A and B are shown apart, each in its own frame.
Chain A
């Protein structure tokens, strides 16, 4: 035999996907679209702050005249000598954003409930916070002065705590590091989630296509259905990995451009401590350097190896289920009722990941879900950057691959029967019967 069936099928499935026009377009366009969306969001949020607002301040107490400093987006305009009713009318008729009214009160304490901000708009929380902060600051200073305490002295006496986080091995991390771990773990888990959905659907569609085009019986008179099923899963996965690799390469090109812009030499990346000593003037450069330091500090090799293992295992697990669904139905519109059981554990995994793991990476819930094969790829990947003992990781991977063999067996049964069934949409009961054929 010239060429093994499985490799023939994988080759066909792979080429069929990779040569597809929309696949090529998506491979090169999506990174650009992502960058474009980021740029757009950045631009829009800047635009959001662009319109300068003017706020009129009617201060009858006379205590806060100097307290409101205009910022790039807000100009404060003090008005004096007009009654509130007139000030309100004037402000409403003008283009001013709002009117801040501070009444004259017997004592500073009374102010707390009597200040009013008039506006047609509902002002943002940050704006109100800013105003309240300014008033509180001044009011407190006045009260301290009234009590005979020097406000400046209190400020000087305040202690600023910045906790340093270190493992018992003396490895330093920082709060920034925890954030980065979250980003890395979250990105890995979410990426896998997206990959499973996109390529799982692709496999499902490809199975349905073979059914609707009626080529399936021709093919399985030449090869065993299980070979076709595996060939399809592997071929589509390879196409996915190709796309993924293309994205990583494009990402490297982008990050190379970024690194040269920020001028970072990875060899001279310093520890946060050194940086703090050396550059109190730090700014953007030192943050970027710290990010690089933290990334270097993460169990990167572990993360990469486990990412690959969980990626393959998790993907294959779900891909076989997607293929089974494709075989069970006649058209894509019939797939809905079977999609829910697939999507539920996936979505649950992402939610557990983003809520529980972030809260406590090694809590009971996080641990349990990082063993359950249907959620472990996502949850475990999110936990690994925080440091998970190797034996836990290995048990989880093992469980995942054993379950994968189970789902392939299950999928193959459904597939074998389903690909030759046309006409009515099967119920779960009928699917169970197919397992016994």
Chain B
């Protein structure tokens, strides 16, 4: 797959503090790329480098195969985590100003703004001042301004903060549609359920270093460790438990069930196949539950960060 954005060996130091250490990343065209990491990991620095707000000390960033140039700004839409608008400026005037800064002509900007304002049903806000709007309302304006110039690359830093669930869903659907229309999205968030739901690629940055990156599904495969949740109505529970513990790593599992069964989380060695476990279990009683445990993005995040 072709990559829209490629970072090669990017490093950045502030004084004595190394904010990014030799980061290389590839963001495939048309993907939703989750940029994950604990607070202070270096995500924002990396995003600012893409936006040419900060220059890297070493390394290069390519957009569509070309090293970043000032005019690339027009192809990027950035919704920062720390965001706001001029409070005493009118909504329409402000949106026009920001759109023109992104290189749209006034008439073009007006047309597109009208489309988005109609789409969100907020046309009557045009002459209101930002300070008259609620935080969620202002966020909608900000979202519109971010995507108005139809950038190839959209960067959202915690896009859902400040939105109620209804508006968060609205924004999520808009992001997915923009992706379907060809945009590539870099998505930085701490909300793992959003990552699970939306991202097809992720990268995890921790303490200025990249710990892992790639397709989310491949990462999950790598992190799945032959672990299975098992429910068994055992004929002889004590004996079965003892035998299982002697052969495998066993812990108790907790899943919902209508039976009063034994519930185990079992990790089998790579030499053993799942079928072997199943055939053994069937000899011990009635098997009610057998599910492969797929690690969640949350698990991967916590485990990777803890191990480093």
A221-B73 in contact given A2-B100, A433-B15 (Cβ < 8 Å): yes
Which chain B residue shows the least CB distance to A220? B53
Contact (Cβ within 8 A) B53 A3: no
Which chain A residue shows the least CB distance to B47? A221
Contact (Cβ within 8 A) A437 B14: yes
Residues of chain A contacted by B121 (CB below 8 angstroms): none
Interface residues of A, Cβ cutoff 8 Å to B: 1-3, 5, 8-9, 12, 16, 209-210, 213-215, 217-224, 420, 422, 433, 436-437
Measured in the bound complex, the distance between the Cα atoms of B265 and A94 in whole Å is 112
CB of A12, distance to nearest CB on chain B (Å): 6
A215-B85 in contact given A221-B78, A437-B14 (Cβ < 8 Å): yes
Contact (Cβ within 8 A) B85 A2: no
Which chain B residue shows the least CB distance to A222? B101
Measured in the bound complex, the distance between the Cα atoms of B95 and A215 in whole Å is 12
Residues of chain B contacted by A220 (CB below 8 angstroms): 53
Measured in the bound complex, the distance between the Cα atoms of B16 and A433 in whole Å is 10
Contact (Cβ within 8 A) A213 B73: no
Residues of chain A contacted by B86 (CB below 8 angstroms): 16, 209-210, 213, 215
Determine which of A1, A209, A221, A420 lies in contact with B103 in the assembled complex, contact meaning CB atoms within 8 Å. Answer: A1
Measured in the bound complex, the distance between the Cα atoms of B89 and A433 in whole Å is 35
Contact (Cβ within 8 A) A218 B104: no
The contact size tier of chain B is 20 to 34
Task: Give the A-B contact count at a CB cut-off of 8 A.
Answer: 70
Name the interface residues of B81-114: CB closer than 8 Å to any CB of A. Answer: 82-89, 97-98, 100-106, 108
Residues of chain B contacted by A222 (CB below 8 angstroms): 73, 98, 101-102
Contact (Cβ within 8 A) A213 B84: yes
A422-B100 in contact given A217-B53, A218-B145, A433-B15 (Cβ < 8 Å): no
Q: Does B51 contact A (CB under 8 A)?
A: yes
Measured in the bound complex, the distance between the Cα atoms of B183 and A427 in whole Å is 43
Measured in the bound complex, the distance between the Cα atoms of B152 and A410 in whole Å is 35
CB of B13, distance to nearest CB on chain A (Å): 9
Residues of chain A contacted by B84 (CB below 8 angstroms): 213-215, 218
**Can you name 10 extra interface pairs (CB under 8 A) apart from A213-B87, A224-B70?**
A2-B100, A12-B97, A16-B88, A16-B89, A215-B83, A218-B79, A218-B98, A221-B80, A222-B102, A433-B15
CB of A205, distance to nearest CB on chain B (Å): 12
Residues of chain B contacted by A420 (CB below 8 angstroms): 48, 53
Q: Does B7 contact A (CB under 8 A)?
A: no
Contact (Cβ within 8 A) A422 B82: yes
Q: Does B4 contact A (CB under 8 A)?
A: no
Contact (Cβ within 8 A) A217 B106: no
A221-B89 in contact given A8-B101, A214-B82, A433-B15 (Cβ < 8 Å): no
Measured in the bound complex, the distance between the Cα atoms of B51 and A221 in whole Å is 6
Name the interface residues of B135-164: CB closer than 8 Å to any CB of A. Answer: 142, 145
| Interface CB pairs A-B, < 8 A, 8 | A2-B103, A3-B106, A213-B87, A215-B83, A215-B84, A217-B80, A221-B53, A222-B98
Contact (Cβ within 8 A) A2 B87: no
Measured in the bound complex, the distance between the Cα atoms of B82 and A60 in whole Å is 90
Measured in the bound complex, the distance between the Cα atoms of B80 and A219 in whole Å is 10
Q: Does B185 contact A (CB under 8 A)?
A: no
Residues of chain A contacted by B142 (CB below 8 angstroms): 218
A218-B100 in contact given A2-B105, A433-B15, A437-B14 (Cβ < 8 Å): no
Determine which of B83, B85, B97 lies in contact with A8 in the assembled complex, contact meaning CB atoms within 8 Å. Answer: B97
Q: Does B76 contact A (CB under 8 A)?
A: yes
Contact (Cβ within 8 A) A221 B76: yes
Contact (Cβ within 8 A) B83 A5: no
Contact (Cβ within 8 A) B53 A223: no
Measured in the bound complex, the distance between the Cα atoms of B147 and A100 in whole Å is 90
Residues of chain B contacted by A8 (CB below 8 angstroms): 97, 100-101
A2-B106 in contact given A214-B84, A218-B142, A224-B70 (Cβ < 8 Å): yes
CB of A423, distance to nearest CB on chain B (Å): 11
Measured in the bound complex, the distance between the Cα atoms of B101 and A217 in whole Å is 13
Residues of chain B contacted by A5 (CB below 8 angstroms): 101
A217-B83 in contact given A2-B106, A433-B15 (Cβ < 8 Å): yes
Contact (Cβ within 8 A) B101 A2: no
Residues of chain B contacted by A217 (CB below 8 angstroms): 53, 78, 80, 82-83
Which chain B residue shows the least CB distance to A433? B15
Which chain A residue shows the least CB distance to B102? A222
Residues of chain A contacted by B87 (CB below 8 angstroms): 209, 213
1/0 contact trace for B66-81 toward A, CB 8 Å? 0000100100101110
